Structure 1
Amino acid sequence: MAAPTRRSVLSALGVLALGACASTPQQGAGNSFEPSRFQTWSEGDPAYRLFPGDEVEVTVHTADELNRTLAVGPDGRVSLPLAGSVMVAQMTGPQAARAIADRYARVLRDPIVEVRPVTYGAQQILVGGEVRSPGVYEMISPRMGVMEALTLAGGANNRARLRQVVVLRRAEDGGVMMRTVDIRNAQRGAPTDIIPLARHDIVFAPRTTIAEINDFTELYIRNILPLDNAFAYALADQVFNSN
């Protein structure tokens, strides 16, 4: 797969103005790193949340004729017979079921709804920092790790600090978790703390210290539309508005 250039990423994703939710960053923000801006990493697998491109099986147990397999549209909505469009993106299956049941309650008595994802859209991550081709990439396997992510981006260049490659992930409450991975150990064949990546993870290879994550988030999260809008706003809030 050809690596997307920064221009193609910007063209494909568009410009995002986060002025309403993020204050203007201070000059020299990358000179220090404040761990308190990020949450403690949780090893638990978060509940799967629906995303545009997924397909869901909607079962209305009280009205079988309304059962459908529906695609989550680019706007995050599914189109229901009799009830119109309902937003389900960023919801778990049970949350989407409740949202759909609430809509069907306008035309049905006590609807009982179940939502189950049956196919999944593109699983994408963002790779940046000291790599040869920073940008958006599709995950090549469900167990893909940080080393594979760097490889997709053309590999780390000679300036990358591979002892502290940063991984960012949205937490269950919408905040942002951060941890680092020592890739040098893996390159030497030593035991390494392997992190299987998940959709919308951000992998960042710093040049000198992880303090550079401040400047990276300004470039990729404040100034362009990233993979997951909800994650973008949460990350911008964490990075630019934390005390």
Structure 2
Amino acid sequence: MRDLIIHCLTILTQSFWHSSLGIDQFVDAMQETLQMVFFSLIFGGIWGLIQGITLLVTRPEGILPNRAIYHLLNPIVNALRSLPFIILLIALIPFTQWLVGSSIGTWAAIVPLTIYVGPYMGRLIETSLLEVNEGIIESAQAMGASPAQIIFKFIVPEARSSLILNMTTATISLIGATAMAGAVGAGGIGDLAISYGYQRFDNSAIILTVIVLIILVQIVQTLGNWLAKLR
């Protein structure tokens, strides 16, 4: 499959491709980018879901109000969201090196990407769940539903479309962050854009990177919009 993709790209670009960057290098970089997005989205999504639900249920007017937990978690989420990704990436280098044994490479980038996108997704999830009409929650409580049933059988299904759209937004933000991670040797197409496009003044590499990122974002947004409309 990989050889077929390389062959197709070579045919499509041979008439205008004037770059020292090989097509096989670009395909490898794309695989690294998709790997970073996939695993960061999974790990960050799990962490974000836990944060979003916890913030929802422990807020003063929530179904399980707990001021201590809410006022501890809320500022942590705000603090992590306030840091630009490039600063967070550099600040976490010692932790990343301790956790995965290296501060460069695809797997090393997944650590700060997860920590970056987790609070972002957590806040988006909380926002989506807060949009659910309070009457639905009151009806569930009147029927004797447990807190877990209220969350997963009433609130989450009701907020489904909003959750999908917000997760789409988070995924697009994550794609941009993976490109930025290339500044510290994380691999992916961001690394190629810097090492070839910026450092070697290779305009063809920059143009191809921009085109691929635009296409990737359009695919993610279109898929998110389609899933949000499904019933």
**Do the structures match in fold with TM over 0.5?**
no
TM-score (norm 2): 0.25
Larger strand percent: 1
Please identify the structure whose Cα radius of gyration is greater: 2
TM-score (norm 1): 0.24
